[in-house]
Amino acid sequence: MRWRRREVLRFLVGGAMGAAAAACARRFPLPASPSEERPPSTRIPIQLPGPEQWDIVSPVPITPTREFYEVKYSTIPRVEIETWTLEITGEVERPLRLTYPELLAMPAVIEMRTLECISNPVGGDLIGNALWKGVRMGDLLTLAGARSTATEVVLHAADGYHTSIPVSLARDPHSILAYMMNGEVLPPEHGFPLRALWPGRYGMKQPKWITRIELIRGEHIGYWEGQGWSREAIIKPNSRIDEPGSGMIPRQPVEIRGIAFSGPVGIARVEVSVDDGRTWEEAELTRGPTPYVWTIWRYRWEHPEEGEHVLRARVHQNDGYVQPRGRGRLLSGTFPDGTDEQHVVRVVVSQGS
């Protein structure tokens, strides 16, 4: 399928241009420090960027923005972009305060990225894939002169939410702060004006409406981490069966298909069972440009036999880990670090369907 998106070809053809953009950040003039902040009453008219066309032929589907799942900690905050700034403080040589235009003026990158909520149940729809534009977190750390004493990066959001990630993850070239989604300015429900995207982590580690980034020594316990959820929130492998749905199907060849997603280790293969896991067959895969994008899989069931069948799908990671059978606990099984239980669909093959 063809997605009319300009510039993202930079990303798909390789990391060379992205690396060049990161190097360019050193030539970006340092913004004013907090001591030089503007008076609170000052309002500067800001022109938001218009829609952009990113031309791309995508092997995997992109979730329309209006259909992308939404999970929030509180209410959607109202952000006045004329007075909004991004502060970078703590263990840095040069505390920064970036305005929205200054952020937009930095070297930008575009990446395709799949996001998943840590509370996504087995077979759930709290997952989506989009194109994102923003700045590399590593470039901001370079601008601020991050000290070697810093161990964690704490993110503070306009809705009061807070969480942290290791400095090493913040420096990953795939760690970005995004201000555009699918060619449009971030909608309020998806984090306008700025949200985080970290590779291999669930959504609870990727806050929206970011206002302040603080580098610290030691550890920070975020909001959901304080409620007992995982501190690392590393994505577990999962595979979802989208077709067929539960119920009656005709006795004829059937295409079983769905999506699979995993962490940075990557997916080696996806297998499908039509007999509740007694035997398995390998599915055909259509991969995204990186392991941080979902994989589309399909398997043609040529000769369904009449009667009841339990369909299952499972991921094999590149490190040898295989998605387990699980106990069918649904949502309760996601606490505290997500779920990797196999998705199950029950069908009845009928001659008369």
Q: State whether 35 and 145 are in the same domain.
A: yes
Number of domains in the chain: 2
CATH assignment at residue 129: 3.90.420.10
**Burial class for 74, CB neighbours closer than 10 Å (0-12, 13-18, 19+):** exposed
Nearest alpha-carbon partner for 287 in 260, 313, 309, 316: 260
**What is the chain's percent helix, strand, coil content, to nearest 5?**
15, 35, 50
- Does residue 67 sit in helix, strand or coil? helix
CATH number at residue 293: 2.60.40.650
Q: Do residue 155 and residue 256 come from a single domain? A: no
Among candidate residues 119, 144, 134, 143, the one with its CA nearest the CA of residue 192: 134
Q: Do 142 and 209 sit in the same domain of this protein?
A: yes
Average pLDDT over every residue of 50-63: 88
Q: Are residues 139 and 179 in the same domain?
A: yes
205 inside domain: yes
Residue 23: pLDDT band with limits 50, 70, 90: very low
Question: Could you tell me if 246 and 127 lie in one domain?
Answer: no
Residue 128 φ/ψ, nearest 5 degrees = -160, 160
Alpha helices of 32-133 — where are they, by DSSP H?
100-104
Last residue of a domain, one of 189, 204, 227: 227
Q: Is residue 182 part of a domain?
A: yes
**Domain presence at residue 99:** yes
Predicted confidence band at 44 (pLDDT cuts at 50, 70, 90)?
low
Across the beta sheet with 295-301, what order do the strands follow?
Answer: 238-243, 254-261, 295-301, 284-286
Euclidean distance between CA atoms 145 and 90, whole angstroms? 11
pLDDT in tens, 146-199: 999 999 999 999 999 999 999 999 999 999 999 999 999 999 999 999 999 999
Provide φ and ψ at 112, rounded to 5°: -85, 135
**Confidence (pLDDT) at 138:** 98
Residue 121, domain member (yes or no): yes
Domain that holds residue 188: 2-227
Half-sphere exposure of 32 (CA within 13 A, CB side): 10
Among 181, 204, 227, residue at a domain's last position: 227
175 shares a domain with 323: no
Give the mean model confidence (pLDDT) for residues 90-94.
98
Say if 196 falls within a structural domain.
yes
Q: Are 53 and 8 in contact (CB under 8 A)?
A: no
**CA 3 to CA 23: how far, in whole Å?**
29
Chain centroid, CA 22 distance in Å = 21
**Residue 229 pLDDT > 90:** yes
Judge if 251 and 210 occupy the same domain: no
Question: Do 292 and 169 fall into the same domain?
Answer: no
pLDDT of 327 reads 64
Question: Tokens representing 93?
Answer: 């040589």
Integer Cα distance of 242 and 223 in angstroms:
33
35/127 same-domain check: yes
223 with 253, same domain? no
* Verdict on whether the full-model pTM lies above 0.75: yes
Which residues is 154 bridged to in the sheet?
Answer: 164, 214
* Residues 248 and 105 reside in one and the same domain: no
| Per-residue model confidence as pLDDT tens digits over 318-338 | 999 999 998 655 444 799 999
Contact 307, 251 (CB under 8 A): no
The predicted-structure confidence for 190-200, as pLDDT tens digits, reads as follows 999 999 999 99
Q: Please tell me the distance from the alpha carbon of residue 217 to that of residue 90, in angstroms, as a whole number.
A: 9
pLDDT band at 54 (very low <50, low <70, confident <90, very high): confident
Distance between CA atoms of 72 and 261, rounded to whole angstroms? 22
Per the structure block, which two tokens stand in for 120? 């996504």
Asked whether residue 232 is domain-assigned, the answer is no
Closest CA to 151 of 162, 167, 172, 171: 167
- 151 in the same domain as 6: yes
Is 233 part of any domain? Answer: no
Joined tokens for residue 62: 């992109």
Q: Choose one of 197, 227, 257: the last residue of a domain.
A: 227
Give alpha helix (H) positions in the chain. Answer: 9-12, 16-24, 100-104, 137-144, 167-170
